Structure 1
Amino acid sequence: MKKGKTKLTRQDAERLFEGLPGGNAKVSSRPENPFEAGVFEAVERVDDESKLWKDNLITLPMAIELPAGYESVSRLRDAMVRAWRVRWVREGKKEVVAEFPEGWTAVRPESGPIALRDPSGVVRAVYGWAEDAELRILPRYLVESQANSSSGLGSLLVRDRGNGQILERSSIWSAQTGTNHPDWTRLSAWLNLRFPQHQDPLRYWEDCEENIRN
């Protein structure tokens, strides 16, 4: 006959754990977080795009050379905001400070105008050093003069300033240059036909077109 197991009373059970430090038991329907508070910091979503930009402030002349199709400086500045995503920070009497997207720079050479370059290094605008300087925004496509140093004659070509490619050129070398060149009318018509808005310096650039659409 098997002997029954001895039943332990509550007092007997408590005596088994004498000498151990007491603790306060905490009952929860789910396990506690084993990590201390603050280990995982909340990630703040940045909805304002300007907060994502690094400080990229560039000082520009107050005056701007108006391209064809723009009736005022204020209209052109509004177009620059849409096309370049530039933000006007503050204005002075002769200059204005603007914040550009990351990668834009103003390069000051030892001589010649200051070049405003986009992140790929292409010159998008130029301006002088004087207090009465004007900002001149450059188009992507234009008719350029080409000089022959040995003969002193000049020719013309149509260049894509976005990638440096020559799209069309004149085969005539002439002592007449610029708008007086015999092929100026032909190359201008070629450019107008293929890029009718080429005189607008804020069109046809990839970043400008994308920013305007969005």
Structure 2
Amino acid sequence: MKKGKTKLTRQDAERLFEGLPSGGTSKASSRPENPFEAGAFDVVERVDDESRLWKDNLITLPMAIELPAGYESVSRMRDAMVRAWRVRWVREEKKEVVTEFPEGWKAVRPESGPIEVRDSTGVVRAVHGWAADAELRILPRYLVESQANSSSGLGSLVVRDRANGQILARSSNWSAQTGTNHPEWTKLSAWLNSHFPHHRDPLRYWDDCEQNIQS
């Protein structure tokens, strides 16, 4: 009658490794010294979806920037954007720069017209063209803009808060002359200057900019 096979215990299995160099005297190895140790077969998750490795708030901008009044150079404008928008310049590519924006910001590419850089609330904060030599134009919060009456062909002026779309002031009459030629352009511009003296700086008066600059 054949003898049954001897049943190996865990202690018997561990004796097979007796005499091997201990961890303190051997070279570092990627394998555990004892294959029965906990964690020897831990599963490492692999990220196969490339989109999970790419941040949605990375936006490619033109290197050139249309300088507002008070900014003497592109480098100074970039420094101001870092403080006010909390952006980070990731890398430069020829005439473009890849920029990391706060969460929720995105670039919208319409079928026609300039590319729009929108903040987390959907407000357009900057625009730029499609050409290789395009310039980034940062938009202010308050501005005087024209409104046209489609039925009469006449135009009026309003001072608009672009953060919420609210009209703060408007011209008292309609005119065939529009834009800076409107009879009340000077009047509306004076109102805007008196209420928001730094309105020409596109990084002022926005809630996020003011908070970031002061913090």
Residues 151-188 of structure 1: per-residue CA shift (max 9 Å, x gap) = 11111000000010000000211111111110000000
Normalized against structure 1, the TM-score is what?
0.74
Structure 1 outlier segments of 4+, above 4 Å: none
Alpha-carbon contact 2:56-2:106 (below 8 Å) kept: no
CA distance in 1, matches of 2:176, 2:66: 30
Match of 1:67 in 2: 68
CA distance in 2, matches of 1:184, 1:115: 27
What is the CA distance between 1:55 and its match in structure 2? 5.2
Match of 1:211 in 2: 212
CA distance in 2, matches of 1:134, 1:153: 32
Match of 2:109 in 1: 108
Match of 1:167 in 2: 168
Match of 1:203, SS? coil
Residues 85-104 of structure 1: per-residue CA shift (max 9 Å, x gap) = 00001112211110011100
CA distance in 2, matches of 1:154, 1:55: 40
Q: CA RMSD of the aligned region, Å?
A: 1.3
Alignment of structure 1 residues 83-94 onto 2, 5 Å: 83-94=84-95
Match of 2:177 in 1: 176
Identity across the alignment (%)? 85
CA distance in 1, matches of 2:62, 2:152: 39
CA distance in 1, matches of 2:177, 2:71: 31
Alignment of structure 1 residues 39-188 onto 2, 5 Å: 56-188=57-189
Match of 2:208, SS? helix
**Runs of 5+ in structure 2 lacking a partner?**
1-37, 40-54
Structure of greater Rg? 1
CA distance in 1, matches of 2:56, 2:140: 27
Match of 1:200 in 2: 201
CA distance in 2, matches of 1:74, 1:154: 39
Residues 29-63 of structure 1: per-residue CA shift (max 9 Å, x gap) = xxxxxxxx99xxxxxxxxxxxxxxx5521000111
Normalized against structure 2, the TM-score is what?
0.74
**Runs of 5+ in structure 1 lacking a partner?**
1-36, 39-53
- The residue identity in structure 2 corresponding to 1:187 is L
Residues 85-141 of structure 1: per-residue CA shift (max 9 Å, x gap) = 000011122111100111000000111111100000000000111111110000000
Tell me the number of residue pairs that the alignment of Structure 1 and Structure 2 aligns: 163
Match of 1:91, SS? strand
